[in-house]
Amino acid sequence: MKNLLGSSVKDLENVALDYGQAAFRGRQIHNWIYNYRNKKKNIDQIEVLPLDFRNKLKHDGFKVSELNIQEKKLANDGTLKLLLSTDDNESIECVGIPTEKRLTACLSSQVGCPMDCKFCATGKEGLKRSLKASEILDQILFIENEMNRKVTNIVFMGMGEPLLNIYDLLLSIRSINEDFQISQRKITVSTVAVPKMIGKLSAKSFQILGKCQFTLAISLHASNQKIRETIIPSAKNYEIKNIIEDCKKFVRDTGRRVSFEYLMLNGVNDKLEHAYELSNLLKGFQCHVNLIQYNQIDEVEFKRTSFKNLQLFQSILINNGITVSFRKSRGLDKNAACGQLRQSAKNK
């Protein structure tokens, strides 16, 4: 099946020319696909195209969308979570997070996840497969259609490990940048960190995109190797000191600072000694730390740290020269933790 989603203007012009149409017909297809107000998903509904051209495209297997809405949950704070089904009957999640000035799309890069982080619901069933670029991009269209707003920011923090799907990840970033007209600087790629893949990400970005200006966010969640291995099983293959060294090289290669995600887990990684340890680990390095409230899930024993303790932890980092922010969780009343909506649907 040939999916037109993710095709550039030039690609679509060539499709039109191949069918004996004028090049502007390809531009019409491009404008139709990426107009967030257009909720029609079928090629035969592109009414600006001649009927015979539409019929030929459809007959030859061209399509725009491969996903369907299976379930949706709207939280009291306006956060929208969508459970989408794929052509092969798998399920993925994406989330629209609105504020007054922006709409952030949290996207999945895989069906499930192989990393099995102990605090995450997604990894409980392992990895099914990686998503194609068109399936990644379709999540944006669904969020825009459902929320009737243009997405302004992208975070790859949904289901899956993006660095295990680098090629389709970068193809989707190309389209997000050029077709959806979202700057790379408004895109964040979040990874638990995979050996040798941080360097590969920057190298492939320059090859495929010509630049590497998105934000790399490392799901660190620990101040030392021992703690990290207890909550992230894959950490045993990648020493925390080596992650930091690879991140420093990423900064040198790209000129972009690295963000470190730090999920505050009560009694596990939130002690003041951990704050000092984390400060020493990151000192003298162009980076930023995001302290995150934990979305508790039934399947695991972790608990959220107190807000008072979070503030103390944050103040220690700041006093030690570390740039730090606190990210409040959104959509807490509607199965907010990644993987929960998919899991609850399977249990019905």
Is residue 161 within 8 A of residue 109, CB to CB? The reply is yes
Task: Identify the pLDDT of residue 31.
Answer: 93
Task: Return the H-helix or E-strand segment holding 167.
Answer: helix 166-178
pLDDT of res. 2: 87
Helix (H) or strand (E) holding 18: helix 9-18
Please report the pLDDT score of residue 238 as a whole number.
96
With CA atoms as reference, report the closest residue to 160 among 217, 108, 219.
Answer: 108
Instruction: Give the DSSP letter of residue 43.
Output: G
> Which among 120, 212, 247, 338 is annotated as catalytic?
338
- First-to-final CA distance of the chain: 31
Residue with tokens 């470190």: 260
The CA distance from 173 to 205, in Å, is 9
Confidence (pLDDT) at 334: 47
HSE, side-chain direction, 13 A CA sphere, residue 272: 7
CB 341 within 8 A of CB 335: yes
106 has catalytic annotation? no
Q: Residue 126 contacts by C-beta under 8 Å, 6 or more apart in sequence?
A: 112, 113, 114, 116
Q: Tokens in use for 200? A: 């590969």
One-character DSSP codes across 198-214: HHHHHHHHHHHTS---S
Q: pLDDT by residue for the chain (348 residues), tens digit each?
A: 589 999 999 999 999 999 999 999 999 999 999 988 887 678 988 989 999 999 999 999 999 988 999 999 999 999 999 999 999 999 999 999 999 999 999 999 999 999 988 888 777 778 999 999 999 999 999 999 999 999 999 999 999 999 999 999 999 999 999 999 999 999 999 999 999 999 999 999 999 999 999 999 999 999 999 999 999 999 999 999 999 999 999 999 999 999 999 999 999 999 999 999 999 999 988 999 999 988 776 666 788 999 999 999 999 999 999 999 987 665 555 455 555 555 555 555
Contact predicate 142/194, CB 8 Å: no
Answer yes or no: 273 catalytic.
no
What confidence score (pLDDT) does residue 295 get?
79
Q: Which of 93, 144, 161, 261 is catalytic?
A: 93
Structure tokens at 202: 């920057």
Question: Which domains occur in the chain, in start order?
Answer: 2-63 (1.10.150.530), 68-347 (3.20.20.70)
pLDDT value of position 261: 96
Query: Distance between CA 147 and CA 15 in Å, rounded?
Result: 31
Q: Does residue 162 contact residue 130 with C-beta atoms inside 8 Å?
A: no
Which residue shows structure tokens 């040798």?
Answer: 196
Does this model's pTM top 0.85? My answer is: yes
